[in-house]
């Protein structure tokens, strides 16, 4: 049986718990390039060595971007309404901020087009700091690839939400076979297949509970996401927005 869940659930609190560490190899390689750059900053005797400093920062950033793109199958996301480049996707997913994006993009462009004169030491220190922040902001998604996240209505820290949806995902396999389960209310279903979250159910079981001295009708739902629905981009956006610390 195919049903559709209202896209209003995307306003619920997104949280996540667990994932796979099987692909974390190489997550720390960018820090080796960063350390080389830092050493040049600290020990250089010729200003032209600062060109090598910035080159190592570019290698650091590029290595991290390639790993993220590979681990999360970013090329598979190009068929959706996301930026085509990895940095653009990370900005839209809220992983990096626009100022960081501009500085890093500018750094890469500077290296690709060469320097007429070496950058100043002050500029190099700025680039070192921004590269460090970029690595730190992406460390977690490089070390642990989440395999599920939750949307919880009326989320309260330390308490289980009574109304919730769980999304099991597999970025490594190209975002195929998203599985959805949860406890929701009848009002969370919609007849609008154009915007609703389509689910081919292998379980759709209604039951009643007592809440505040009244009967509440709830639905236990489990099934596979209908990949052709337009909500896939919102599912991916919620996946990256999910907070692991609540």
Residue 195's pLDDT is: 84
Q: Which two tokens stand for residue 50?
A: 């600062």
Residue 149's pLDDT is: 95
Question: What is d(CA 138, CA 135) in angstroms, rounded to the nearest whole number?
Answer: 5
Residue 246's pLDDT is: 65
Burial 38-70 (b: 16+ CB within 10 A, else e): bebbeebeeeeebbebbbbbbbbbebbbebbbe
Question: What is d(CA 185, CA 216) in angstroms, rounded to the nearest whole number?
Answer: 8
Residue 182's pLDDT is: 95
Q: Which two tokens stand for residue 88?
A: 């653009």
Cα-Cα end-to-end distance for the chain: 34
87 and 101 in contact (C-beta within 8 Å)?
yes
Residue 98's pLDDT is: 72
What phi, psi does 167 have (nearest 5°)? -115, 115
Burial 142-180 (b: 16+ CB within 10 A, else e): bebbbbbbbbbbebeeeeebebbbbbebbbbeebeebbb
77 and 175 in contact (C-beta within 8 Å)?
yes
Q: What is the pLDDT along the chain (246 residues), one digit of tens a residue?
A: 999 999 999 999 999 887 887 678 889 999 999 999 999 999 999 988 988 898 899 899 999 999 999 999 999 999 888 999 998 999 999 888 777 767 777 776 776 676 667 788 998 998 899 999 999 999 999 998 999 999 999 877 666 778 999 999 989 888 888 999 999 999 999 998 888 999 999 889 887 776 666 677 889 999 999 977 778 899 999 999 998 776
Residue 158's pLDDT is: 65
What phi, psi does 168 have (nearest 5°)? -95, 125
């Amino acid at each position: 049986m195919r049903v559709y869940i209202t896209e209003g659930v995307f306003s619920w609190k997104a949280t996540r718990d667990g994932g796979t560490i099987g692909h974390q190899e190489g997550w720390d390689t960018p820090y080796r390039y960063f350390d080389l750059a830092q050493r040049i900053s600290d020990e250089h005797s010729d200003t032209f060595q600062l060109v090598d400093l910035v080159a190592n920062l570019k290698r650091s950033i590029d290595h991290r971007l390639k790993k993220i793109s590979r681990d999360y199958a970013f090329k598979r996301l190009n068929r959706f309404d996301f930026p085509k480049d990895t940095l653009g996707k990370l900005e839209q997913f809220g992983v990096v901020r626009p100022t960081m994006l501009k500085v890093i993009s500018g750094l890469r462009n500077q290296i690709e087009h060469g320097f007429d004169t070496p950058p100043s030491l002050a500029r190099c220190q700025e680039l070192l700091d921004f590269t460090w922040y970029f690595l730190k902001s992406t460390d977690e998604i490089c070390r642990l690839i989440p395999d599920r996240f939750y949307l919880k209505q009326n989320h309260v820290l330390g308490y289980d939400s009574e109304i919730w949806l769980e999304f099991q995902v597999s970025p490594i396999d190209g975002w195929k076979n998203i599985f959805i389960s949860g406890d929701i209310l009848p009002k969370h279903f919609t007849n609008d297949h154009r915007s609703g979250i389509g689910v081919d159910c292998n379980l759709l079981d209604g039951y009643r509970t007592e809440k505040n001295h009244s009967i509440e009708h709830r639905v236990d739902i489990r099934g596979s996401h209908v990949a052709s629905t337009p909500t896939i981009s919102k599912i991916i956006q919620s996946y990256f927005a999910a907070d692991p610390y609540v």
